[in-house]
Homo-oligomer: A and B are copies of this chain.
Amino acid sequence: MTIPFNKPFLTGKETDYIKEAVESGKISGNGLYTKRCQLFFEQHYGFAKCLLATSCTDALEMAALLLDVQNGDEVIMPSYTFVSTANPFILRGAKIIFTDSHLDHPGIDEGRIEELITEKTRIIVVVHYAGVACNMGKIMELARKYNLFIVEDAAQAIDSFYVENDGMKRALGSIGHLAAFSFHETKNIMSGEGGMLVINDLQFAKRAEIIWEKGTNRSAFWRGEVDKYGWVDMGSSFLPSEIVAAFLYAQLENIELIQTKRAKIWNQYWDGLSHLQAKGDVRLPFIPDFATNNAHMFYLVCNTGEDREGLINELKRNGVMAVFHYLSLHGSDFYKNKHDGRVLLRSDEYSDRLVRLPLFFELTFEQVNFVIKLIDNYFTR
């Protein structure tokens, strides 16, 4: 493959920081670099409290534990998402009520949520697909009206924002009661695997620390609030190794550099491909007025599944790796018999027709041009 779909980027300081962490004598979780990363996020994005986790999946498991999900509780979420949006709630016994994507973009259609709310509904999980904000104004309104908790699956949404009607700009992940981020290798800022829970509703702050520390009050112990620490609750080992945190911190220090470069690539794709949208051959990413673009992903939505397959194959023949994305969860082998039968047309369309183009730091101007030309040829021949 001449141009892979993704290539993780080493900013330069990662292994120095890992060595430094080892030298310090403590590389288990909740060490110096974990605290540095958490502080960075709290200071830059207005997150009330951050806890690094081993993955975004694990951060969502913490959310499900904190929200005390019980057997039969209903959780509403889009069907067009990764399995990890759903699994953490299923592990706690929840019933997932899948809903459709928006007409304009793969994110949740906020207009179709209210009709699904029942007495058993406790949580709405929104997914900021491609780092583009869902309509958080409408969604938080629903939360208030029906007394629900909102969890933001912000796996792809680092350094992206929701702009309120009055112009106030709020970071994705800072709006719902809880939010989860991913630092998987395909993300803008990454550590191979990795994630983070954000606690915006501080009623959950104390218990979050306990669940994070395997159900012990060890964090309170370190702060001198209790004499000795012990087992006080359920929990798991959600803390990543300091090796991972040290790596992540080196990435975070370079977030501006990374975001600037990614935006450049994204814009080059946009400029080079928008004529195909004008011609009706494909749809390009849609950024609503209330959203910003963190250049996490550049995708095309083809008119048919055949079109997409042809395009992916054509690119592959020329050494370019472009890939489709989620398969509707409501139609999966695991959930199709548990789903209530509603047709989720748009989710299925994105499953069939969306294709993601290569987008990573080291991608060159010439490489992007090469990809653009291949796509142009495919649709104009």
Interface residues of A, Cβ cutoff 8 Å to B: 4, 6-8, 10, 14-15, 18-19, 21-23, 25-29, 54-58, 61, 82-84, 86-88, 90-91, 184-186, 190-194, 214-216, 228, 230-237, 239-244, 247, 327, 329, 332-335
CB distance from A8 to the nearest CB of B (A): 5
Do A332 and B237 form a contact, CB below 8 Å, given A19-B15, A28-B186, A192-B27? no
Bound complex: CA A215 to CA B230 (Å): 32
Bound complex: CA A230 to CA B333 (Å): 7
* Given A27-B185, A91-B91, A193-B241, 10 extra CB contacts under 8 A: A10-B19, A54-B58, A56-B237, A83-B235, A87-B234, A88-B236, A191-B243, A193-B239, A230-B334, A243-B247
Residue among A8, A14, A61, A333 with max Cβ neighbours from chain B (10 Å): A8
The answer to whether B58 touches A234 (Cβ under 8 A) is: no
Question: Chain A: interface secondary structure?
Answer: loop
Inside 8 A of A88's CB, which chain B residues have their CB?
236
Do A236 and B87 form a contact, CB below 8 Å, given A28-B186, A58-B54, A231-B335? yes
The answer to whether B57 touches A54 (Cβ under 8 A) is: no
The answer to whether B28 touches A193 (Cβ under 8 A) is: yes
Bound complex: CA A29 to CA B10 (Å): 17
Residue among A10, A15, A61, A228 with max Cβ neighbours from chain B (10 Å): A15
Do A185 and B57 form a contact, CB below 8 Å, given A231-B83, A240-B193? no
